[in-house]
Structure 1
Amino acid sequence: MGKRAKAEWQSLDKDLNRLNQLELTTDYVVRPLVGAGLALVFIVLAGVTAAIALGSSPSVMLVAVGAVLAAYLAVNIGANDVSNTMGPAVGAGAISLTSALILAALAETAGALIGGNEVVATISNRLIHPDALLSGRVLVVAMVSALISAALWVNFATWVGAPVSTTHSVVGAVLGVTVAASGWGAVNLPMLGMIASAWVIAPLFGAAVAVLLLVLVRNRITERADKISAAQRWVPVFSASMAGLFACYLLLKLPDHVLAPVFLDPGHRPAGTIPVVAVLITALAYLALVPVVRAQVRALAPNEKYVRHLFRLPLVTAAVLMSFAHGANDVANAAGPLAAIVIASGQGDAGLIKTAFAVPDWVAAIGAFGLMLGVVLFGPRLIRMVGNQITKLNPIRSFCVAASTAFTVILASWMGLPLSTTHVAVGAVFGIGFFREFQNRQQRRKNAKRVQLAPEDRHRRRLVRRSHFLKIMVAWMITVPAVAIFAAGVSGVLLWFV
């Protein structure tokens, strides 16, 4: 009986192991399908919402199609762009991936609903001439083509793991359909050249600022003999400055009705008010952070490894605030074209091209909840790439990336240049990685350790993965032309049949 019982137990163990393997396989196969299924349900509901909102309007079917496409694009924006804000924080170990997804989803949704539903221009007056599209029919076809092309491109980029710019995708799509409908004469080429130059310069500028911040932190804190005292003096300064930077960003980006208590004259934002408010917020943040940092410092040992932990809270705060700002700014990429379709299908002309227009609440809601769903369901892959796979990050380096991104975007807002947070953030990450490689080489030379290394050893000493670098560079360079060509083709087909 003993041998028989032992054999039965062994057989039972094998059966349980098979069941466990089956469960793991099922979970691996089904989980992506669940995410895709939930996204599909949301997209269908967006179309139903549009149909209900328009009621018996003769253009209800066209608007419903636009709503489906806008929802699809919003999901892709959430999936692709969440890496900008949460990637460095997750890569530094300041926050878990699950917590990052939850915070990003809430912040993106809040930003989109609070700051994204005021006014969205159909087509920028600076990029194309106001009278480029002469009829509502052409405008609707252009916006539908732009939504299709931008969404498919961002979806493809997310699938291959390349954090491309959704803003560039939408601009490229609108540019393509404009050229297809009205020719190159409709495009403001000097302005297009200036915008393209800004897109090239922005990642380099973000990288330079991130490196300068890292050098400053090392000079003032981590390379000091008394790191604890240095951290106690400077961490509140860096953190409070971050609060001031985000105050500037929000004052520039949030709509008038949200900022009414700050600017007494509605619709007018005096240039001197924004820096005054930012300085005030910086001072208040500094006063609040000094006792917090002192309490943390008392528990730390005097070496860099523990000093790094002081940057975790400001890093997470910066990531959440950047998510809010991103939601308020980039929801227009999906909501703007849909709102144009809604307005143009009701008016029958393109007069709205010359002005801005209010985005209906249900349109803004589709954009906001699409961002949230994309963050939760499809965000982890690019978060891991930006946070871990490009180069190794710790809280100090990640803080430099977040601060550099904020400063660059705010500066561009002051100058009126449309920059991509994706390019700035990823450029800053690359800048930190290449700077550390340079420092390591200099240190080896300084110590006279010039040992001939095999190629595989030299490769292991690289702190930036070249494969990811090349893939992202290629994706950046071809985004606008690829989406423009595809959108032009789509619009040509639609204009033929519609």
Structure 2
Amino acid sequence: MDIILGIALVLAGFYMAWNIGANDLANAMGTSVGSKSLTIKQVIVLAAIFELAGALLFGGNVTGTIAKGIVPLDKIIEISPLIVTVGMLAAILAAAFWITLATFYNLPVSTTHSIVGSVLGFGIICVFYGYITFADIHWPVLINIVASWFLSPFIGAALAYVIFYFVRKRFLVNSENVPGIEKKFVWLQVATACFIAFAHGSNDVANAIGPLYAVFEMYGYTGFGVLTLSQVLLLLGGVGIVIGLSTWGYKVIDTVGSKITELTPTRGFSAQFATASVVLAHSFIGLPISTTHTLVGAVIGVGLAGGLSGVNFKVIKNIVSSWFITVPVAALTCMIIFFPLEWFFL
């Protein structure tokens, strides 16, 4: 592999990971800050530990799906490995550019949507060139992924609603010391913050390093020193995500933590525990799921448990609108980026 192209891929992967931290992980940890259970600095420390742990222990399952589960790269590799390399570079850059734009406008978007859409865009380019047919794209896998995007907000909302309903009925209703109970739940929310960072690392780090893994494996790289290829890339992605959270994550944290509904430690605990449970379950089966969708759904579920007036539907409308345009925008951007990269490297 050309060394310039290899360096470009690594830098693009790190840039994508940085974006995931600034948007997706910030979204996941926003409830802890919004409920005032943790400060941003404390969230960054916890994320650095548990995000990396989740990435290294479980991240490999989803990485394979992002790398080869959508577009039949093996067929394209037989024709031109360089096309695959340039295509994956274009896919990473397209997804990352869109997330940067969304973060600038404080919108929590799905990084999973973004990378899946951009990889699909590369697949459509390959169909245009005649390398594969539309039938060769792994549509059943794509359908399962897309279905999870629609189901995850509802599952997150339902589970968070049930958890908070139980907490509210058992501990808060008729209590003479609600502030004292909320104070005790701060520690539970700290625990769920660790849980959600672990779950996020297990699933969403693949959005940054999945395309890199496909390319480096294609060229025969199996590891670097004592670490396997997967471990090296997962570590790269995990570090990039934590840096993204610490440098630019405050924008999305503000949206999720304070603008959808009022959050307290009991509400934040309910939303985070529901989200982390759903995401980790999907990581276990190797299915990329949107942490953003799940958590926003969970926050809405918690808000609904307190009555419709507790939810800011105007903010929700803006967030959901950005979800629907993510896949087509990422796919189209990948196509636009691919052709100048092709001209430069091929």
Aligned positions of 1:329-348 closer than 5 A? 329-345=203-219
Per the TM alignment, residue 389 of structure 1 is displaced from its structure 2 partner at its CA by 1.5
In structure 2, the residue matched to 1:392 is 262
Which of 94, 103, 128 is residue 71 of structure 2 equivalent to? 128
**1:78-120, Cα deviation, whole Å (9 max, x unpaired):** 1112233321111111112222223223332444355547994
Per the TM alignment, residue 325 of structure 1 is displaced from its structure 2 partner at its CA by 2.9
CA distance in 2, matches of 1:177, 1:425: 29
In structure 2, the residue matched to 1:172 is 117
Per the TM alignment, residue 467 of structure 1 is displaced from its structure 2 partner at its CA by 3.2
Could you tell which deviates more after superposition, 125-134 or 64-73? Answer: 125-134
CA distance in 2, matches of 1:390, 1:150: 25
**1:326-361, Cα deviation, whole Å (9 max, x unpaired):** 2243222222222333343568xxxx9xxxxx5265
Which ranges of structure 2 fall in alignment gaps of 5 or more residues? 128-132, 223-227
Output the amino acid matched with 2:266. Answer: I
Does structure 1 residue 68 correspond to structure 2 residue 11? yes
Contact kept? 2:35, 2:263, Cα under 8 Å: yes
CA distance in 2, matches of 1:100, 1:73: 20
- Tell me: CA distance 1:107–1:161, structure 2 relative to 1, closer, same or farther (3 Å): same
In structure 2, the residue matched to 1:382 is 252
Which of 30, 38, 46 is residue 87 of structure 1 equivalent to? 30
Contact kept? 1:178, 1:187, Cα under 8 Å: yes
In structure 1, the residue matched to 2:188 is 314
TM-score, normalised relative to structure 1: 0.62
In structure 2, the residue matched to 1:473 is 320
Which ranges of structure 1 fall in alignment gaps of 5 or more residues? 1-57, 228-301, 353-357, 439-461
Contact kept? 1:74, 1:368, Cα under 8 Å: yes
Aligned positions of 1:454-465 closer than 5 A? 462-465=309-312
- Tell me: CA distance 1:130–1:369, structure 2 relative to 1, closer, same or farther (3 Å): closer
Could you tell which deviates more after superposition, 80-89 or 145-154? Answer: 80-89
Does structure 1 residue 210 correspond to structure 2 residue 160? yes
Contact kept? 2:119, 2:331, Cα under 8 Å: yes
**1:115-150, Cα deviation, whole Å (9 max, x unpaired):** 547994275554334644243112101110111101
Per the TM alignment, residue 59 of structure 1 is displaced from its structure 2 partner at its CA by 1.4
Taking every aligned residue pair, what percent have the same amino acid on both sides? 36
Contact kept? 1:157, 1:164, Cα under 8 Å: yes
Contact kept? 2:48, 2:242, Cα under 8 Å: yes
CA distance in 1, matches of 2:54, 2:281: 20
How many pairs were matched up? Answer: 334
Per the TM alignment, residue 219 of structure 1 is displaced from its structure 2 partner at its CA by 2.3
Could you tell which deviates more after superposition, 84-93 or 170-179? Answer: 84-93
Per the TM alignment, residue 193 of structure 1 is displaced from its structure 2 partner at its CA by 2.5
In structure 2, the residue matched to 1:36 is none
CA distance in 2, matches of 1:116, 1:193: 21
Secondary structure at the aligned position of 2:197 is classed as helix
Does structure 1 residue 485 correspond to structure 2 residue 337? no
In structure 1, the residue matched to 2:288 is 418
- Tell me: CA distance 1:122–1:496, structure 2 relative to 1, closer, same or farther (3 Å): farther
- Tell me: CA distance 1:329–1:493, structure 2 relative to 1, closer, same or farther (3 Å): same
Contact kept? 1:176, 1:488, Cα under 8 Å: yes
**1:356-414, Cα deviation, whole Å (9 max, x unpaired):** xx526553443222112111111111112111121101111111101211232244346
CA distance in 1, matches of 2:318, 2:341: 32
- Tell me: CA distance 1:63–1:124, structure 2 relative to 1, closer, same or farther (3 Å): closer
Contact kept? 1:105, 1:376, Cα under 8 Å: no
Output the amino acid matched with 1:185. Answer: A
Output the amino acid matched with 2:42. Answer: S
Does structure 1 residue 139 correspond to structure 2 residue 13? no
Secondary structure at the aligned position of 1:393 is classed as coil
